Amino acid sequence: MKTVGLSMKNPYLRLARPKQWTKNGFVLAGLLFARQAYHPPAVLSALVAFVAFCALSSATYAANDALDVEEDREHPTKRFRPVASGEIKPRAALTFAAMLAAIGLGLCFAIGPVVGLSAVAYLLLQAFYTLVLKHLVILDVMAISAGFVIRALAGVAAVHSPVSPWLIVCTGLLTLFLGFSKRRHELAVLGEDAGGHRRNLEDYSVEMLDQMMNIMLAATIIAYSMYTFFVYKSEAENYMMATIPFVIYGVFRYMLLVHRAGGGNPDTLLLRDRPLQITLLLWLVVVFLVLYVQ
């Protein structure tokens, strides 16, 4: 196996898909909302958990690329991935995946048993998704959403904070919206050949996915708004409602980008769109002011 360097020209770094690591930001939600951002041990645990889930998610990407190599070679964009293009052999990719999984699991169990068990649950879910769920319509997106919920729960466990049902609901609804938008993008890119690349895409249509996205969009906004109303009841905390406009604009902006010019790739929209980045930053600033500056 080649030495893994830091340049994006290195096929192993591209195999790890660092652009996807933003998804693991859900791990840090527990630190922020548990009001432990000023507590060094909690910050350290949350950051280690974040790094661990970056390793775990990269392990699943590498394993998926090795197992789906033949399908990826027929895909208009995935054929350029390191395994599909022949830069990395499937067996080497699986070895790399096993190494990353071992690192991620080791870090999670070092934080605590609950975080470690969350990591195991995440890997088992990803394995089941790769082998079975990704071929089942609707359940494939629900599995993607469950992966994000596990990330958020692991982050809460890392800082030893009680689990809020609102965290599960809001994370689940938002990531269902993101998952359906990803399927819509795949249909837009693959067109009539979509079913040939993944069987369950034959059961989706752009119109149906638009309806599903609209439902999840509305549910996400309502759930988040209720969260700000019912959880933060003191006079100072009532200002948490000021974050609602940022959430509304952010999800609407995301939907605009998904629909624009046939659909942008949902996986990298946050990395490329400045208005989305500014909205996220402003949301974080207001949340921090409400929770930490009394």
* C-alpha R_g of the chain: 19
Question: Residue 82 has which token pair?
Answer: 């390191």
Neighbours of 41 (CB within 10 A): 10
What's the pLDDT at 5?
43
* Helix (H), strand (E) at residue 93: helix 90-111
Question: Residue 14 has which token pair?
Answer: 């591209």
What's the pLDDT at 227?
93
Question: Residue 241 has which token pair?
Answer: 């409602």
Question: Quick one: which of 211, 183, 179, 208 has its CA closest to 198?
Answer: 183
- Give the burial string for 48-68 (b: 16+ CB within 10 Å, else e): bbbbbbbbbbbbbbbbbbbbb
Reported as a single tens digit per residue, the pLDDT across 215-262 is 999 999 999 999 998 888 777 778 899 999 999 999 999 988 888 755
What's the pLDDT at 72?
74
What's the pLDDT at 288?
93
Question: Quick one: which of 100, 58, 101 has its CA closest to 82?
Answer: 58
Residue position matching structure tokens 């959880």: 231
Q: In the chain, which stretches have pLDDT less than 50?
A: 1-6
What's the pLDDT at 249?
96
Q: 219: burial class by Cβ within 10 Å (0-12, 13-18, 19+)?
A: middle
What's the pLDDT at 198?
67
Reported as a single tens digit per residue, the pLDDT across 54-83 is 999 999 999 988 888 877 787 777 788 888
Question: Residue 77 has which token pair?
Answer: 């964009």
- Please report, as a single letter, which amino acid is at residue 210: D
Whether the full predicted model's pTM is greater than 0.85, yes or no, is: yes
Residue 273 CA to residue 263 CA, distance in Å, equals 14
**Measured between alpha carbons, how far apart are the two ends of the chain, in Å?**
54
- The runs of H, that is alpha helices, within the chain are 11-16, 29-33, 40-67, 69-72, 90-111, 113-131, 139-158, 165-190, 194-197, 206-230, 244-259, 269-272, 274-292
CB 82 within 8 A of CB 88: yes
Calculated CA dihedral for residues 11, 14, 15, 18, nearest 10 degrees:
150
